[in-house]
Amino acid sequence: MNKIGKFISFEGPEAVGKSSQIRSLGIYLKKLKIPYLLTREPGGTIVSEKIRKIILDNKNDISNNEELLLLMSSRLNHINNVIKPAMNKGKLVISDRFCDSTFVYQCYVNGYGISKGLKLHKDLLDNFLPNKTFLFLISPEEIIKRLKKRKKNNKYDKINLSFHKKIILGYKKISKSDNRFILINANKNFNYIQKILRSEIYKIIN
């Protein structure tokens, strides 16, 4: 691995299985003795985890613009205090969601505007982006099916087909013609997906 580590994000709509894949990938990296750090957004630091609770709580009545600024603030804290320091130590940093979730959920689906969100990210976060992003996609019908099996949901785990169709369309829009994204068919079985992830990770860090 190079002296400066790599940064990888996992993205996608709800219930695509990315978090389980990340945990399994962490076990694999540990066995290979590859220095790594698993983190998430919103979250990753003490401050950012507190912001996460505010954002995802169904009871909090905050506007989309307020939520967007909270996410940007949380992300900047995360970058400065966790991601960059780990990369400077040569670690592979893997985050469960990053800026692309904001571009899709708050900017595209909730109407702030993708171009405006990209500009905000550039101005406030110096356009800090992952080296690669694994984008998990499944059908909106399968998302609803999986969400119904969940015992605990946050405010974005909606049993609403139209909402999830928009989320998927948003991800397709931002990932089109961008080689940062590696598309993952989340309908495939767990071991098949994990094999693909391990192969791609090997390419990224070597």
pLDDT in tens, the chain (206 residues): 457 899 999 999 999 999 999 999 999 999 999 999 999 999 999 999 999 999 988 788 899 999 999 999 999 999 999 999 999 999 999 999 999 999 999 999 999 999 999 999 999 999 999 999 999 999 999 999 999 888 767 677 777 899 999 999 999 999 998 999 999 999 999 999 999 999 999 999 98
Residue 44 belongs to some domain of the structure: yes
* pTM exceeds 0.85: yes
Residue 2 belongs to some domain of the structure: no
55-109 pLDDT, tens digit per residue, is: 988 788 899 999 999 999 999 999 999 999 999 999 999 999 999 999 999 999 9
Q: For residues 121 and 204, what is the distance between their CA atoms, to the nearest angstrom? A: 24
Q: How far apart are the first and last CA of the chain?
A: 6
Question: Each residue of 62-81: b (16+ CB within 10 Å) or e?
Answer: eeeeebbebbbebbbbbbee
Give the residue numbers spanning the domain of 104. 7-205
Structural domain count of the chain:
1
Give the CATH number of the domain where residue 187 resides: 3.40.50.300
Contact 9, 98 (CB under 8 A): yes
Residue 1 belongs to some domain of the structure: no
